[in-house]
Structure 1
């Protein structure tokens, strides 16, 4: 005991000191844009079959309800308008437009250090959704979301290392006017985070005001066009196989306004998409390929994300089951199709059907996020904070999700095998010449921060230590962390002069 105890104590002190030291960004064990792609539920034959089926669907079924402007631009590119009003897309047209599509997209951020480089198997996790309720973990209640809640969520995301972008996760239910809601959504999120932001517009007429605000924030239209830090989440289709007329008109205006587009197809398997998982993917792929044609017919190479977002139904009730294993498979399969086309892609993961951040939420969120990351999905949307099958959003769950996503990203990174990492010489030294353990070894100390990731809130203490610490509760720790973050002023807040100009031009509901 007298010989081993000092060694153990010294090793622990050294490890503690090392872990508390700041780490250069390039040495962090996990970071945005790490390469996944080692997992795929679809075989190569399955991928090819889905591709051919999607092409058949576009050529023989087509899509209905395109706006007149969309019909004009797509038929000029080679689409065929049938007597039944449906646009059909020959195979050659699909191939031509895929060739024009940008294969590498940068989603800019207000702070360039948060820029997202979307290509290959680079993985990024973030928020999304349109929750109408906030989860009150203390009272175990649901209440309507407010613009302050949205701003607070953005401020929290700005401080979380493993949340890489902030697409609007909730709807401001306290702003009944849709134009004011759309503009206040932009204001609330962009003033809360310097990371890339995603948003939606309710009507085409609201786009001009939104772009004007973004030009003001950017410092001019030219600066906005050079670095557009907000993308449009655009549900351009109403599954099955119909264009969403007003959303398409929004998309057309935003393409011309220089905003990147998330082409979002969100059919629900067994309801608005075929029940087989392969069938739901096929329809989503077909719809998004139609979106690729639409975008590139307007502006070849315009930055867009192939957003196949098929969801799952619990076929016993018809209700959405976003936390299911089938949802995790759908998302991973979609990621494989994105890679097949060589396109930046996004899909949904991390959704909990659970109403509170409990054990059910933990397994539901972890399963789909890990599978999405391992599949190499570029943009993992709805990855944290979402409950009740997208109806509820929880700030405590968002904070806990940062720990979860850190572990998911460590899985994405995988295992590096080198002559040093197989550790033969270290094993020889420890086993034949040393103390018989690796706790204080130089290799252990040098790798503990770069090979391993440590949770911020999750508890790894022994039962004895847990008791001595007062039996800390995970949710209470998350609430304390939330309050700590929100007690500070937003680091993303606008310059007072700019803020005054925005408030003079637009009706801003957040207090100044």
Structure 2
């Protein structure tokens, strides 16, 4: 019996080659995701929250949301009991909230290195880098379009940062690679240059499918079928339009059991009402419809309620970041997310400044503090 169970000298420790590889491997310390002990700041009263929730359901029932060029989505909604008028979906009161109830309140996103798994939801805060900038700036070239080499450098920098728990997604837009294939190079960079969790492509449904299949190669098909290995950003085309590209990506990820951030991208005063309460009502209506749709695709699919709101410069029409109005909306959206029992995404190092000056410093610090106090669970744009 002892002979059968005793390890042999040959297999102990994996051999000399494995030990030499372990000694030479480059690894950087990463802090565990943050578990907040401070209370959340709640700016809205119970009465105000009930009014916003009531009016959001009025919008869904009487005005509805558009699902253009997506007959499969219209059929899903019709089968669920919604009223379909052309491409407009009117959702009866209570239906969206009922569907949202199947979404989990927390989920674990697995990383290539299990020590860097993150738990999204509850009192946890996961920090991820910037997402989506087409330009980069360096000492030699100044402001210029980003390249794939820039992308790889930013992934490496994110991996080296102790305080970033997540590798992110489109840390910059590499314009030197064709649009129809750059997602493959970008995802490959996250998979090979970092062992932190990452995001998948959402720019076309087939690219979302590529992301799932590449993850199956990395983690194993059976593992991906049972676990969340991607958290990807789905923006709603505000106001109240769910375009077929983003919804197609959402369908792929939800059906594969991968997490999606359902996040309206609202410029207050341009794509939503000017008032804080009015914008929050639209945010609530849009996320209810988007999260409900994810659950129509697969009940229990992990999802995050997102809110990415800016105000508008009435002189230039440009979005402004780091403003008090955006903070108020973010605080209120956090309260609404907690009432739905869902993880919350927002905030980050936001600033409307074009220079690394005092304005950039105070707007960024105020925005980061807003994210901490509003109960954000997944902070996209935490740096960069």
Aligned counterparts, 1:10-25, within 5 A: none
Q: In structure 1, which of residues 127, 130, 137 is the aligned counterpart of residue 129 of structure 2?
A: 127
Q: How many correspondences in the alignment?
A: 354
Compute the displacement of 1:228 (Å): 3.3
Compute the displacement of 1:203 (Å): 1.6
- Counterpart position of 2:55: 53
TM-score for the superposition, normalised by structure 1: 0.65
Return the alpha-carbon distance in structure 1 between the equivalents of residues 158 and 361 of structure 2: 19
Between structure 1 and structure 2, the one with the greater Rg is 1
TM-score for the superposition, normalised by structure 2: 0.86
Per-residue CA deviation, residues 231-265 of structure 1 (Å, 9 max, x unaligned), is 22112x21111111121112112222332111121
- Counterpart position of 1:223: 223
Kept in 2, the 8 Å contact 1:124–1:379? The answer is yes
Return the alpha-carbon distance in structure 2 between the equivalents of residues 206 and 343 of structure 1: 27
- Counterpart position of 1:364: 363
Compute the displacement of 1:140 (Å): 8.4
Q: In structure 2, which of residues 102, 125, 128 is the aligned counterpart of residue 100 of structure 1?
A: 102
Compute the displacement of 1:37 (Å): 4.0
Return the alpha-carbon distance in structure 2 between the equivalents of residues 53 and 240 of structure 1: 15
Compute the displacement of 1:89 (Å): 0.9
Per-residue CA deviation, residues 195-218 of structure 1 (Å, 9 max, x unaligned), is 221233322233333322221122
- Counterpart position of 1:393: none
Return the alpha-carbon distance in structure 1 between the equivalents of residues 231 and 277 of structure 2: 29
Return the alpha-carbon distance in structure 1 between the equivalents of residues 292 and 38 of structure 2: 28
Compute the displacement of 1:68 (Å): 0.6
Aligned counterparts, 1:169-188, within 5 A: 169-175=171-177, 177-188=178-189
Give the superposed CA RMSD: 2.1
Per-residue CA deviation, residues 284-341 of structure 1 (Å, 9 max, x unaligned), is 1111100111111121110111112222212232111112222222222211211121
Per-residue CA deviation, residues 132-169 of structure 1 (Å, 9 max, x unaligned), is 00022x35821111122222212112222222223222
Compute the displacement of 1:365 (Å): 1.1
Tell me the secondary structure at the aligned position of residue 198 of structure 2.
strand
Kept in 1, the 8 Å contact 2:257–2:298? The answer is no
Tell me the secondary structure at the aligned position of residue 271 of structure 1.
coil
Compute the displacement of 1:35 (Å): 4.0
Compute the displacement of 1:193 (Å): 2.0
- Counterpart position of 1:425: none
Return the alpha-carbon distance in structure 1 between the equivalents of residues 287 and 211 of structure 2: 25
Per-residue CA deviation, residues 103-144 of structure 1 (Å, 9 max, x unaligned), is 1222222222222222223222222421000022x3582111
Kept in 2, the 8 Å contact 1:325–1:367? The answer is no
- Counterpart position of 1:40: 42
Per-residue CA deviation, residues 258-277 of structure 1 (Å, 9 max, x unaligned), is 32111121121111121212
Return the alpha-carbon distance in structure 1 between the equivalents of residues 189 and 347 of structure 2: 23
Compute the displacement of 1:36 (Å): 4.6
| Corresponding position: 1:149 with 2:162 | no
- Counterpart position of 2:333: 334
Kept in 2, the 8 Å contact 1:325–1:368? The answer is no
Compute the displacement of 1:223 (Å): 2.2
Return the alpha-carbon distance in structure 1 between the equivalents of residues 290 and 378 of structure 2: 18
- Counterpart position of 2:233: 233
Query: Where in structure 1 are there 5+ consecutive unaligned residues?
Result: 1-23, 386-512
Kept in 1, the 8 Å contact 2:201–2:211? The answer is no
Kept in 2, the 8 Å contact 1:98–1:292? The answer is yes
